[in-house]
Structure 1
Amino acid sequence: MELTQVLRMNGGDGNTSYANNSFVQQKAISLSKAIREEAITSFYSSRLPRSLAIADLGCSSGPNTFFAVSELIKTVEKLCRKLNHKSPEYKVFFNDLPGNDFNNIFKYLDTFKQKLCDEMETGIGPCYFSGVPGSFYGRVFPDQSLHFVHSSYSLQWLSKVPEGIDNNRGNIYIGRASPSNVERAYYNQFQRDFSCFIKSRAEEIVEGGRMVLTILGRRNEVEDPASKEGGYLIWELMAIALNDMSLQGIIKEEELDSFNIPQYTPSPSELKLEVLKEGSFAIDRLEVFGVNWNPLERSESVSESGYNLAQCMRSVAEPMLVSHFGEDIIEEVFSRFHKILAHRMSEEKTEFSNITVMLTRKA
């Protein structure tokens, strides 16, 4: 599986698109708003730059792409009014892998800018937007060209499926039945990737620049592969659907055994360790919070909640599943997955654990 080609969210505006099904991710962005505001306020107040370069890494497409950037710009504009300071010019960079639906982003860019201007009645500084395709597990921007970096629900994705997990049969991630070497292989891959990410950003962010990262993680420091935390459990439940289809001959057993999700959900200490080892950033703040599997505020039946979460996961996982198993199995997989999710959500409270960390580039 060539991840740069298939690790992408469903594009467009259809029923299975990421734009219309990313409500879990939207909730996480909303809950981390205060940390972003603190970070951009402390940076801008201390520097008052005439030009402000902001990068959103793993931006995907849809409303979530604009939410964080919009809030950052509005926070700076309010500061400018308070300080009686002229608005800076904004250089905003949307980054994701080349297969991302960048066209969908730019289709709505004029609407976004107009909405932003309407919300800030006194106007805003000039804004320049760019799409920057490429993996953030390496250099993406010139030396010391960025003031603020944001990323949400992207860094749990690895650069590749870990090597040496051919014995993870019947699982598609770290599961209760996974051999002991599987968890170690996933963790080692996370260490390599996250270390590379931090090192690359250290070269791209100016001294004193800020970075706010929200990562699908876990609360517990000593991980139990049988953990009920969302990042692990959700893939175990999908594996149940795929195993049932394998037993019925709908998909081949060898295809299932060779399919693994390129994701790792770190603990707070695992994340801190990589930042401290690299040494270029100070950790200003770190918080762990949960997002319910059904974060929508309206009341729904368990079946509807299960369907909505299945659609959310489909918008994320479908390109990988299609690449490995083909398109013919997709409707059946998510029909079964919906029922499995609804049953689990009826039995217990389920949530995704998230880590948000605020970092400052050291001198």
Structure 2
Amino acid sequence: MLVTLTGRSTVDPTSKDCCYLWELLTKSLFDLVAQGIIEESAVDSFNIPHYNPCGEEIREIVEMEGSFDVDKEDAFGICWDPDLGNDVGNNKDIIFDKYKSGQKVANCVRAFAESLLASHFGETIIDNLFTRYAHHMAEHLAIERTKFVTVLISMTRKY
């Protein structure tokens, strides 16, 4: 069996591999608090039940459960903006537009998070929130090429 899932490359559960998308979203929400658009208590009470495991954690759970042997575990990263490639520093053909990249990544996050955010904060804040988020994302991508990490685990069932 081959399992692939979004994870992180390090045992640190607060690494940028998995958490920085949410930190930038939180920063954007607090921008709206500062503007008086939403209440700080609404941000404090908002929780997304999300966890990105590292390969070691998955291996440990599989071994503890006992039905499978882990044959191989691997992880690889893909830039938040996949158009940048994974080695942007060496690719001279890429013209980097931080705002375009920030908007693309913000749109991806919006695709899976908008309904959660709208149900908690209301529909009226969504466009403003993701405008702020795209800006924060652009500023981040201008400094660092953070990557999504995919964890691959190959397992064989024990008989």
TM-score normalized with structure 1 length: 0.40
Q: Secondary structure at the match of 1:330?
A: helix
Aligned to 2:59: 272
1:258 aligns with 2:45: yes
Cα drift, residue 360 of structure 1:
2.2
| Unaligned runs of at least 5 residues, structure 1 | 1-209
Aligned to 1:338: 134
1:322 aligns with 2:118: yes
* Equivalence map 1:1-363=2 (5 Å): 210=1, 212-221=2-11, 223=12, 225=14, 227-229=15-17, 231-296=18-83, 299-363=95-159
User: How far, CA to CA, are the matches of 1:326 and 1:299 in structure 2?
Assistant: 37
User: How far, CA to CA, are the matches of 1:346 and 1:285 in structure 2?
Assistant: 35
| Unaligned runs of at least 5 residues, structure 2 | 86-93
Return the letter of the residue paired with 1:256. V
- Greater RCO (CA < 8 Å, at least 6 residues apart): 2
User: How far, CA to CA, are the matches of 1:302 and 1:213 in structure 2?
Assistant: 33
Q: Secondary structure at the match of 1:343?
A: helix
Deviations 1:91-124 (A, max 9, x none): xxxxxxxxxxxxxxxxxxxxxxxxxxxxxxxxxx
User: How far, CA to CA, are the matches of 1:299 and 1:247 in structure 2?
Assistant: 34
RMSD: 1.5
Deviations 1:280-325 (A, max 9, x none): 1121221111111111257551111110000000001011111111
Deviations 1:171-217 (A, max 9, x none): xxxxxxxxxxxxxxxxxxxxxxxxxxxxxxxxxxxxxxx2x222221
Q: How many residues align?
A: 150
User: How far, CA to CA, are the matches of 1:267 and 1:329 in structure 2?
Assistant: 34
Return the letter of the residue paired with 1:292. C
Deviations 1:149-190 (A, max 9, x none): xxxxxxxxxxxxxxxxxxxxxxxxxxxxxxxxxxxxxxxxxx
Cα drift, residue 343 of structure 1:
0.5
Q: Secondary structure at the match of 1:359?
A: strand
Q: Secondary structure at the match of 1:254?
A: helix
TM-score normalized with structure 2 length: 0.88
User: How far, CA to CA, are the matches of 2:24 and 2:136 in structure 1?
Assistant: 7
Aligned to 2:90: none
Identity %: 39
Q: Which moved more, 1:265-274 or 1:294-303?
A: 294-303
User: How far, CA to CA, are the matches of 2:120 and 2:158 in structure 1?
Assistant: 43
Q: Rg larger in 1 or in 2?
A: 1
User: How far, CA to CA, are the matches of 2:10 and 2:158 in structure 1?
Assistant: 29
